[in-house]
Chain A
Amino acid sequence: MSAGTQFAAAAGAAVALPARIVEPFMYGLQRLLGIKRMPWVFLVPNLTAVVLFALLPVFINIFYSVSGSDRLYPWDRPVVGGANYATLFDCDNFLDPSTCSRDLFWRALGNTLVFVPVQVTAMIVIALLTAICLNRDIRGRGFFRGIFFFPVMLSPVVVALTWQWILQRNGALNGLISSAGLTPVNWLVFPNTAFFWSVFVTVWAHMGFYTIILLAGLQSIPRDVYEAAKMDSATPWRAFTRITLPLLKPVLLVVFILAVIRSVQTFDELYVLTGGGPGSATMLMVQYIYEVGFAAQPRNFGLAAAASLLLGVALLIFTAIQMRISRGGKDD
């Protein structure tokens, strides 16, 4: 507690001097515009940043996706209509990526469509299990909560390098395996094992975040509901399915939506851990956007924008459906 307040005090001190310098200027504005217009003065810096780096980019992105060439500035770019989308969708057979002109896009899309459900399911099941364990009356609760949470604080690069060190050919995992008398496996070289570890590592890194949210949800369920269930000699499993899950539903929904949105955007960890490889086995959509728009020469901003717009629309539709379903559930 005190560390946080001290920090706030330090931050406050750092703001104090500029605030004093700004004061006459702001007072002048107040005299000029009147109190009624002052809220806009307070809003201007934040709104400028929001418009410049969030709202405007959405519209520019739409323009990028319908314009061609490798030029960065929109006014240099010729409008090509749906050509970028046509390139992405140029396939002889949609089930076979190798027949597409942009086969990497379809491979990344396919990987994402497998990765997201698997990772989100694993994430929520493990986070829920952990939250339930941490919600019990156990010793060392704070300690265990910290243990499950701390990877959230680690940077994605550190997470990836840590696991790469463990999974490499002569790493700790293969050391354990060979001392148990089994044959070591080169985990990140085979598509299937690389994919498995991609899911594992991202769950390892982020599950603590969802555990904390679910734990808060569990703690808001009154204990006497469970006491009553115990009186009626309900089994733990029955108590879980009949009490915990229904009462946790709103929190679970939030966790689910957050987990999907984040899962779809997975990039940092896998970029360092596998680089999208072997081949393109662990390349997801965001990495494809990065590769096409920034890593490859010449940079194809139009294609990257088209792909990211499709990604954004997919996320929007997903969230809308989820909201509709949850609202429908409430009406019942």
Chain B
Amino acid sequence: MTEASMSKTDMSISDFLTRRRRRGRFGWTDGLTYAYLLLGLVVMFAPVLWVVISSLKTPANLAEFPPTLLPYSSETVVVEGFDQPLALFDVVGEDGETRRLAQIRRVGIQAQMIDPADPEAGRVLVPVETATPVRRVYLAFENYTNLLASSGNDLWRYVFNSLFITVVATLITLVMNSMAAFALSKYRFRGSNVALVSILATLMIPATVVLVPTYMIVAQLGLVGNLWGVILPTVATPTGVFLLRQYMLTIPDELVEAARMDHASEWRIFWKIILPLSSPALAVVAIFSILSRWNDFLLPLVVLTRRESYTLQLALASFQTEYGIRYEILLAMTTLTALPLACAFIFLQRYITTGIASTGIK
């Protein structure tokens, strides 16, 4: 009797734990699914989290191997008679007692220490292996302020360049693509197919394949080292035209005809009627344009040859060699570069994923 009721409660607990939204029991395939997803969580997310944590470590903490999980900083103490603050250590004496001493210097496997509470007692020699540093968790936000200080106004220059390219290129893309899409969706005219095909054919031409001539045309326009040299080659995205045209085809032609009856000009029909109605598609095109312009690398690398025209991405890549030893600065810069898009992603995830799913295009 009791046994039966026990097993009944057991059942209900396991039922509760494995309860799912729809009918069906928790099978082995579900177990595998969750195991895979949790593994994915670690592999996908841990590296980025690690960079953020590392960017908050002090240079001494970064130099440690194996690395510590959390950012630590050594406790220091100012002792009379010494200019620099001294690092604190917990030292286990021969009698097994632990004393807290400040290290003056290390000599081989021995360390010269002094008792901060009683500096008159003099220096003591302590074997290194008996001393462990006194540490506490410490977030070294000074890495970020140092980054701003050491790069001076350059960093803002890079941020401005990246923002300028992203915003201007996206606005031009939106206007040009939607104008073309309007023409290709709301008019019947000779040559419309030729125009559509020649725009879409550029999908087949990878940007890297035409790198040399693109550079030549940019140079011919006098735009090498100029932000416009990166903006202009990227604005005529075939995918933008395609997406907007497909969307505009769903807007009834009667709206256009009714506006013509009211003597609205073609341009007015375009920007007062069609453009506002296409805002969902415009948002998708805008997001993709922002993403790819902000992250762009090869074209800026080739075109933006002067230091003051560098984008954030170029500066970050060049920091890698320049600040090769100053990892804390590089990590702070990496985090800062990734931050704007990480924030945008939280708000726009659904837009981005539906955009990709519906077009298969980035």
Contact = CB atoms under 8 A, between A and B. Distances in A.
Interface stretch (B4-12, B85-93, B201-209): B201-209
A290 B211 contact: yes
Contact of B210 (A43, A57, A212, A271): A57
Q: For A4, A162, A216, A261, which residue has the most chain B Cβ atoms within 10 angstroms? A: A4
Given A39-B183, A53-B233, A293 B211 contact: yes
Interface stretch (A93-101, A105-113, A188-196, A310-318): A310-318
11 contacts: A4-B348, A50-B198, A50-B199, A56-B217, A57-B214, A58-B205, A154-B295, A154-B341, A162-B47, A265-B206, A305-B213
B338 interface: yes
Contacts of B184: 39, 43
Given A147-B44, A170-B65, A175-B66, A43 B195 contact: yes
Contacts of B337: 155, 157-158
Nearest to B66: A175
Nearest to A37: B189
Q: For A35, A57, A254, which residue has the most chain B Cβ atoms within 10 angstroms? A: A57
B320 interface: yes
Interface string A20-43: 001100110010000110111011
Given A289-B211, A293-B211, A308-B211, A5 B268 contact: no
B213 A46 contact: no
Nearest to A316: B204
A61 B212 contact: yes
- Nearest 7 CB-CB pairings of A with B: A49-B236, A175-B66, A216-B357, A57-B213, A26-B267, A57-B210, A60-B213
Given A74-B216, A133-B37, A153-B342, A204 B43 contact: yes
Interface in B316-360: 316-317, 320, 327, 330-331, 334, 337-338, 341-342, 344-345, 347-353, 356-358, 360
Interface of A: 1, 3-5, 7-9, 11-12, 14-16, 18-19, 22-23, 26-27, 30, 35-36, 38-40, 42-43, 45-47, 49-50, 52-58, 60-61, 64, 72-74, 129-130, 133-134, 136-139, 144-158, 161-166, 170-172, 174-176, 178-179, 204, 209, 212-213, 215-216, 236, 254-255, 258, 261, 264-265, 267-268, 271-272, 286, 289-290, 293-294, 301, 304-305, 308-309, 311-312, 315-316, 319
B357 A213 contact: yes
Contacts of B302: 290, 294
A38 B37 contact: no
Given A50-B199, A290-B211, A204 B265 contact: no
- Looking at chain A's contact residues, is the secondary structure mostly helix, strand, loop, or mixed? helix
Interface residues of B, number: 112
B20 A137 contact: yes
B265 A30 contact: yes
B241 to A, nearest CB: 6
A267 B208 contact: yes
Contacts of B16: none
B192 interface: yes
Nearest to A138: B33
A155 B297 contact: yes
Interface of B: 20-22, 24, 29-30, 33-34, 36-37, 40-41, 43-45, 47-48, 50-51, 54, 63, 65-67, 170-171, 174-177, 179-180, 182-184, 187, 189, 192, 195, 198-199, 201-202, 204-206, 208-217, 219-220, 232-236, 238, 241, 265-268, 270-271, 275-276, 279-280, 282-283, 286-287, 291, 294-295, 297-298, 301-302, 313, 316-317, 320, 327, 330-331, 334, 337-338, 341-342, 344-345, 347-353, 356-358, 360, 362
Contacts of A157: 297, 313, 316-317, 337
Contacts of B170: 11
Contacts of A265: 206, 208
B180 A47 contact: yes
A23 B267 contact: yes
A229 to B, nearest CB: 14
Contacts of A213: 356-357, 360
Contact of B270 (A14, A42, A312): A42
B65 A268 contact: no
